[in-house]
Amino acid sequence: MAWRILRVACIVGGMNLDWRVFALGSAFFAALTAILGKVGVSEINSDLATFYRTVVILAVSALLVSARQEWQAPGAVSSKGLLFLVLSGVATGLSWLCYFRALQMAPASRVAPIDKFSVVLVVLFAVLLLGEKLTWKVGLGSMLIAGGVILTAL
């Protein structure tokens, strides 16, 4: 339902709903994650906070998949795809545990930019592991992000 409303709003506004809209949405909600998470972990163990957050994410995801009638049996997914989704889930969980622990120990304005060093690592891994081409724009952007991370960390 929310995606349909967003799609209609974008079409009426003359904007196509493509990957950039979702990428900006991801950035917006990631920013909220840092701010809301910082407040949330101030009164609770960061590992337990991560667990509660994960339960909420599971519920929201299940509601979205149900509303869009997109359920599939796990057997319908390739074993390779399922393996990599499981590994991605493990990586996500470990990332969240580290992120919330860092938020408990330091200001959100310092933790979040360092967390975004993941952008540089994604570019590096995409080139090395996925064979994606490194353009000068992506390379320069990655170096600028790395520079910002270093400045933020100091």
Q: Is the pLDDT of residue 60 over 60?
A: yes
For residue 139, CA distances in Å to 14, 44, 135, 142 come to 31, 40, 6, 5
Cβ proximity of 114 and 149 under 8 Å: yes
pLDDT of amino acid 76: 87
Look at residue 95 and tell me whether its pLDDT is greater than 90.
yes
Prediction pTM value? 0.77
* Predicted pLDDT of residue 1: 54
pLDDT of residue 12 exceeding 50, the answer is no
Is residue 74's pLDDT more than 50?
A: yes
Q: Is 134 helix (H, G, I), strand (E, B) or coil?
A: coil
Average pLDDT estimate for 47-72: 93
The three-state secondary structure class of 95 is: helix
The DSSP line for 142-154 is HHHHHHHHHHHH-
DSSP 8-state class, residue 117: T
Task: Tell me if residue 16 falls in helix, strand or coil.
Answer: coil
